[in-house]
Structure 1
Amino acid sequence: MTLADTVTDVDAFARDWENWHETLEEGRRAPHGFLAYAGFHVLGAEPRRFDGVPGAWSTGEGGPVVELADGETLVIGGTPVTGRHEYGVIGERTFHSADHVTPEHGHVVVELSRRGGQDIVRPLRPDHVLRVGYRGTPAYAPDPRWVIEAVFEREQPRDIPISAAIPEITHTHSTPGRVRFTVDGASYALTLISRGPRVATLLFRDATSGVTTYAASRTLAVPLPDDSSDRVVLDFNRATNLQCAYTDYSPCPLAPPENHLPFAVEAGEKIPLDRTS
């Protein structure tokens, strides 16, 4: 059911949404936010060098390793590092960063992470064209009718495979259950992805996908109730784009097939004005 009738001050509702969206946009414009990604490199057993990144990188059973040549330095955890540095095995969806400064690009952050069982390196350059030229993300005007009450159907947490925007990667995420809600008299149940004991993510597609909104998926944060309740609120006005809507350098998880809605969710963020490959 919609909660539109409970919104008594539409202007305040709109201002709250505008403040939320501007905060989101400010985060995107950060010097080392995801708009600064300038590459995506999957590590293998053979050491490889990547454009704009110091060292030769590899990975194996012992985890990622970087071999820095004479004259090359990375700052890791505030400490300058030269020669060989072993990271050890890193966990899934954990992130490690190293810093270096170049005359061409200024302060560059080298991000190391593990996604879908693969160790990857991505440089973040504040002067990257996508970040420097970012014009913002359009969105539908906030509308209380897209604030929908739903039922949280708890399940025993279980892992499910989730496809990624980069084909060679498949994510594994835990689901705490589903949300069930009604739109125009029809019932829908969508799978959630756990983000902690009291919050989940809803990845979904709908009839606007590829038309006015990003084709692959959008995402919505869903606060979960405690054990005394099964009620949740889905505010689709706060549906946002995934990083992969802006860059090919992000292996975002995509909506599972059961989360494809047959109607148009005309709320939340639209297709970004800018994108890089």
Structure 2
Amino acid sequence: MAVPASKMEAAGVPAAYRAWRESRWEEIAGANGKAKVVANGKIIGRDDHTLPGVPGVWSTDEAGALTVTAVEADGVRIDGRTVDGTAEVPAGARLEFPGGRAGFAGGGDGAYGMVVMDPAAVERSGLRGVDAYPYEPAWVFEGRYRQAPPDRRIEVDRLTSPRSTEAILAPVDLVVTIDGTEYVLAVLEDFPGQRLVIFTDETNGTGTPAIGRWLVLPPLPPGSTLSVDFNQATLSHHHLNPSVFVCPLSPPGNHLPMRVEAGERALVHDTPGHHQRKDA
């Protein structure tokens, strides 16, 4: 579970790491926490789109604006007004659905992404923290970005059901030396501006999930040096809601042949019998 700040202070844990743990929990369970996401999807073009468990049919009009078609009984509301027919969804509008769920849509010119959140999802799931290895300064290294071939894409598995593959942009490699050995890890850019190293190691399936973990890194130019802190290795969003977050898996070659006993290990729930499988 998340280590109390007072306990981390007594153990000599850096203040920056304590702040990161707090921000990480906010990312998971805060007002807009990812553990509250119950549906997401893309609406592209004028074809009709539906989202599992979300009422309404979503599309775009001739001008490329986002629209929703619903009947009054569906309970779809845009900025407090109930939709009965087809309505445009203005940029920044607040969407409301039955059960207290709220939605947000962003994009433009005929391509939109939508997220639906349930403010009670965390409480209902019993999620109360993230189990992590104790902070260990020996797992902090200096790394550097090495330029990859132009427009390089790497074919990786994605956690859809059934599994699928996708060629994801991989603009740079992360080069890091651990115990005198240099490792080169492909860096994915699944979303513009996001730099993500998905790696596996010898703890997978026992101490940590079999699907590996993430290092979220800054979007610096090739040749840049950066801190590589495995204490900030995180679980993928997939563990928060497997049906919603169909995350990519580790690219070929992103395996570290050692036990990386640093970073997050598992979600912690209050619900009796509810625990995260290490083989997931």
TM-score (norm 2): 0.71
Deviations 1:188-213 (A, max 9, x none): 2110124666x622111111122111
Q: Which runs of 5+ in 1 are unaligned?
A: 1-8, 88-94
Deviations 1:132-190 (A, max 9, x none): 62210011111111011223211234233332222455444322221222223333211
Percentage of identical aligned residues: 26
Tell me: CA distance 1:122–1:19, structure 2 relative to 1, closer, same or farther (3 Å): closer
**Corresponding residue for residue 256 of structure 1:** 251
Tell me: CA distance 1:152–1:50, structure 2 relative to 1, closer, same or farther (3 Å): closer
**Corresponding residue for residue 3 of structure 1:** none
Is residue 2:232 matched to residue 1:231?
no
**Corresponding residue for residue 5 of structure 1:** none
CA-atom RMSD, angstroms?
4.0
Contact 1:36 1:131 in 2 (8 A): no
**Corresponding residue for residue 136 of structure 1:** 129
Using the TM superposition, give the Cα deviation of residue 255 of structure 1 relative to its aligned residue in structure 2, in angstroms: 1.3
**Corresponding residue for residue 96 of structure 2:** 100
Matched residues in 2 for 1:68 and 1:56: separation? Answer: 7
Matched residues in 2 for 1:210 and 1:261: separation? Answer: 14
Deviations 1:206-246 (A, max 9, x none): 1112211122121112236556x543321111111111022
Is residue 2:72 matched to residue 1:70?
yes
Q: Secondary structure at the match of 1:28?
A: helix
Residues 208-223 of structure 1 mapped to structure 2, 5 A cutoff: 208-223=203-218
Q: Which runs of 5+ in 2 are unaligned?
A: 1-8, 270-274
Q: Which one-letter code corresponds to 2:152 in the other structure?
A: R
* Worse-superposed segment, 201-210 or 29-38: 29-38
Matched residues in 1 for 2:67 and 2:265: separation? Answer: 40
Using the TM superposition, give the Cα deviation of residue 109 of structure 1 relative to its aligned residue in structure 2, in angstroms: 1.8
Contact 2:29 2:122 in 1 (8 A): no
**Corresponding residue for residue 19 of structure 1:** 19
Contact 1:149 1:232 in 2 (8 A): yes
**Corresponding residue for residue 6 of structure 2:** none
Contact 1:239 1:269 in 2 (8 A): yes
Residues 84-99 of structure 1 mapped to structure 2, 5 A cutoff: 84-85=86-87, 98-99=94-95
**Corresponding residue for residue 241 of structure 2:** 247
Matched residues in 1 for 2:221 and 2:73: separation? Answer: 55
Tell me: CA distance 1:166–1:59, structure 2 relative to 1, closer, same or farther (3 Å): farther
Contact 1:140 1:266 in 2 (8 A): yes
Tell me: CA distance 1:272–1:98, structure 2 relative to 1, closer, same or farther (3 Å): same
**Corresponding residue for residue 162 of structure 1:** 156
Aligned length: 252
Contact 2:140 2:229 in 1 (8 A): yes
Matched residues in 2 for 1:243 and 1:97: separation? Answer: 26
Q: Which one-letter code corresponds to 1:244 in the other structure?
A: H
